[in-house]
Structure 1
Amino acid sequence: MKADKTAVSDDCRDRISERISVFLSISAAAMAAFAVVLPSGYSIGALFLLIGSVFGLIRSGVPHIDRTAWGVVFAMSAYSTYWITHAALHGADPSAFDQTSRLLLAVPVLLATAMYGLRWVFIWIGIALGGVSTGVIGLYETYVESARRASGGVGPEHFGNLSIFFASLSIVGLAWMSETRQPIRYQVIPILGILGGFAGSLASGTRASWIALLVLLVLITFALLRLRLRRMLLVMAVAILVGSSALATTMDHSSFVTRLQGAAEDISHFYTDGARAGSMSKRFDVWKGSLRLFKEKPLFGWGDRGYQEEMNSLAESGYITKGAARLNHSHNDWLNASSKRGILGLTILAALYFFPIWLYLRFFRSEQSPSDRIISLGGLVASTNFLVYGLAHHALGSNNGVMNFAFWTAVFCGYITNAKRYNELSESCNQISHEPQRISRS
């Protein structure tokens, strides 16, 4: 009778764990699906992720995770703590406290997903719906509202980044669905997400996101070749070719051409006659000023207010233009961190990117199931997207940027940690089950 009660109790616990896993998965899907559909839509799924994670951790406690995963937790916590402390000491704007705290709030999500795992069919569909929504909103704003650049309520730069983010992850999601032999009706959804994300990016006119896309396509191509998914690579190439042709014939791509020509002209003028009226010229100018500020105060940086005051001084002296001085960030995450937070801030930012990428690469290169390795590729794509985009813009300098980076990093790192724990337990069980047989043979 006691054994029966124990079995019922274990079955009940397993059912609760299953429901928590499904709840976390649907919340992650909603984080993508509603990202640009509703005002601060990315926060809705993130909030439910946090609530579900806290409940799960209260129920089961903190899971055992490896040192690299703890490195991700440390980097997230260090980033939030140092940025908040530094902002408080330098009298920064209250938004500085709010934005950076998102990384700290993502820590429970990483731990909970490491404990309970995720159902990726929900998440890939949610990501694809996010890509579709960027395309629909981008086309609506440019064609119906006649906007010069689509913004989706988050600004054209970040809208373009999210469009490429969802499009690239939809390619990975298509590979996962193909590998796990999901129904055809499910595999169509990521294809729509790819096309929608491309359309949203073109409508936004965000050049930094186009650079990120080129890097991500190369990364995905090499990864699919390594996984020997050549058929999937062919499907991806055909989908991109057909989709690009369709977009080229249906969309007014004059803004795309204009943006590229404008960038080329800005760069040419900057290095010939010193004209600095264009956005690219301002960017080069602000990089120049930020680098000088870092050299003058390399250890702890100037802080947000000090940075702005010193940039204004550089403009008054003629070192940079007043247009560049009016920008409140360096248009580069690395220069922004170094000039405002110093070497320590730069080191923490490097750890914030390095630890997740190292975790993804280690898992991808290990002998794991192809479907799990594809998920690690998704994490690598997510981190690389923000890393490359952050070279030409302040990727972590807005609520949507830091929220999406923090919570998607938590989702991917948490799941991979869960998969590693499961694989290690399976190997241990196999060794134990084989041990008597090995002894009897000897």
Structure 2
Amino acid sequence: MLDKNSWLLFGILLIYPLIHGLSILTDGGTLREFDRPSKVIMGAAVLLFCLRNPPRFKWLMTGIATGAITAGGRALYDRLVTGYGRAFEWMVPIQGGDISMTLGLISLCGVMWSIKTANRGLTVYFAAASAFGVLGSILSGSRGGWVLFPVILFVLYRIFRDWFSPKVKLGMSLALTLLVIFCLTPQSGVPKRIEAAKSDISLYFSGKNKNTSLGHRFEIWKSSVDSFLEKPLFGWGRHGVRLSQEQQYKRGLITKEAYDFNSHAHNQFLDEMAKRGIIGLGALLALLLIPLYLFKQYLKPSFAPEVRTLAAGGVIVVLSTIDYSLSQAFLYHSSGIVFYCVSVIFLYSALRSQQLMTDKSLL
């Protein structure tokens, strides 16, 4: 039997793909275009299964940590052995780096739990996983994953601040200092990516070159906003938006390179606005904010450490996805939509199971 919160999550996992399906249908699209939204429907089925067969807390958290170590290890291999300029260059570096970052941040929640429960062995393992996960993002050069990183760290501090002893605070400050020092080294690739970003911004706003990496993003963001303003309610659809872009190009409002980029807006929110209007944007926000609302309810100090840890992990998944979606259509890729849905479902079903066990033990 689903409770109110589970029904909320189950409902949005059906509504989001329904909105996309209607958009595809009215836009004259093909069944193949429903491939990505259909994965969210799969998520609804997985949710029902996991609510009946929830993952165990330690298995889930150590599994996530193992994923973070694997991602960071692969990133090191890509940079040091294969000689790739960016980690995960064999796939989409942005997606690989962003997923690695999320795994590392959830592992950081595991560090907090293991310190609270005095589990020293797992503290070391989760700490290593956190470092490897963040390292994977750094080595991928995915700048979008760094935008809200300080904000997310601050949110984690606020969630777990009552668990911190002076010794823990000192250790975290030292770890953060070492991370900053590493990011400032040329080997990390971060200074080079920051300088490139500064150069792209300068060239774009001076009008000297609009076809840089960030300049290209600015152009398609501007295009998406203009398309949305023309059809704000239902949007243009995936194919229809090309007509809007063609009109913009002919009027000299966007560059030819921006017009030729027939994919997405490099911003999940603007992409939804242009293609599916306010209706699509509302469905996207619900897919993000409903899980955030559900997880936030379990962050109070009165809940068991395991429950708060899982809830914090869920909050991190949502906030980091919002972060990535500001400069990349993260959910446009199969890797992004599957990772987001599965992460939310696993963490929520484990959290609900853990809370039910806690309630029974108090009876």
Same fold by TM (over 0.5)?
Answer: yes
For 2:30 and 2:173, the matched residues in 1 are separated by 46
CA deviation after TM superposition for structure 1 residue 277, in Å: 1.8
Change (3 A) 1:315 1:193: same
Following superposition of structure 1 onto structure 2, how do residues 317-336 of structure 1 map, counting pairs within 5 Å?
A: 317-327=251-261, 328-336=263-271
Q: Does the CA contact (< 8 Å) of 2:57 and 2:350 recur in 1?
A: no
Q: Which residue of 1 aligns with 2:142?
A: 206
Shift of 1:64: 3.0
Find the counterpart in structure 1 of residue 241 from structure 2: 307
Residue 418 (structure 1) aligned with residue 357 (structure 2) = no
C-alpha displacement of 1:152: 5.6
Percent identity of paired positions between Structure 1 and Structure 2: 25
Cα–Cα, structure 1 residues 355 and 149, in superposed 2: closer, same or farther, change >3 Å?
A: same
Pair 1:178-2:112 in alignment: no
CA contact (8 A) 1:179 1:371 kept: no
Q: Deviations over 1:273-313 (max 9, x none)?
A: 36312111111111111011111111111111111332233
Tell me the SS of whatever aligns to 1:263. Answer: helix
2:77 partner SS: helix
Cα distance, 1:378 vs structure 2: 0.7
Q: Distance in 1 between matches of 2:20 and 2:208?
A: 35
Amino acid at match of 1:209: G
1:364 Cα deviation after fit: 0.9
2:318 is aligned with 1:380: no
User: How does the TM-score come out when normalised to structure 1?
Assistant: 0.76
Amino acid at match of 1:330: A
Number of equivalences: 362
Asked whether the equivalents of residues 231 and 277 of structure 2 are also in contact (C-alpha less than 8 Å), the reply is yes
2:197 maps to 1:259:
no
For 1:216, which of 152, 174, 181 is the aligned residue?
Answer: 152
Q: Please name the residue that 2:274 is paired with.
A: 339
* Range with bigger deviation, 364-373 or 278-287: 364-373
- Specify whether residues 335 and 226 from structure 1 end up closer, same or farther in structure 2 by C-alpha distance, changes over 3 A only: farther
Aligned residue for 1:30? none
How much has 1:220 moved relative to structure 2?
1.1
Q: Once the 2 structures are TM-superposed, how far is the Cα of residue 406 of structure 1 from its aligned partner?
A: 0.7
Matched, 1:149 2:86: yes
In structure 2, C-alpha distance between the alignment counterparts of 1:228 and 1:135, rounded to whole Å:
27
Q: CA deviation at 1:176?
A: 1.8
Q: Distance in 2 between matches of 1:302 and 1:230?
A: 55
Superposition TM-score, scaled by structure 2 size = 0.91
Q: Secondary structure at the match of 2:88?
A: coil
* CA radius of gyration, larger in: 1
> Alpha-carbon deviation of 1:169?
1.0
Q: 1:112 to 1:227 in 2, by over 3 A?
A: farther
1:185 & 1:421 partners in 2: Cα distance?
27
CA distance in 2, matches of 1:81, 1:245: 47
**2: CA distance, partners of 1:308 / 1:229:** 56
In the alignment, which residue of structure 1 is the partner of 2:328? 393
Cα distance in structure 2, aligned partners of 1:230 and 1:224: 13
Q: Secondary structure at the match of 1:364?
A: coil
- Which segment is superposed worse, 161-170 or 138-147? 138-147
Q: Secondary structure at the match of 1:367?
A: coil
The answer (yes or no) to whether the contact 2:56–2:350 under 8 Å persists in 1 is: no
**Aligned pair partner of 1:282 in 181, 200, 216:** 216
Distance 1:151 1:94, change over 3 A: farther
Structure 2, unmatched stretches of 5+, are: none
Q: Is 1:359 the counterpart of 2:294 in the alignment?
A: yes
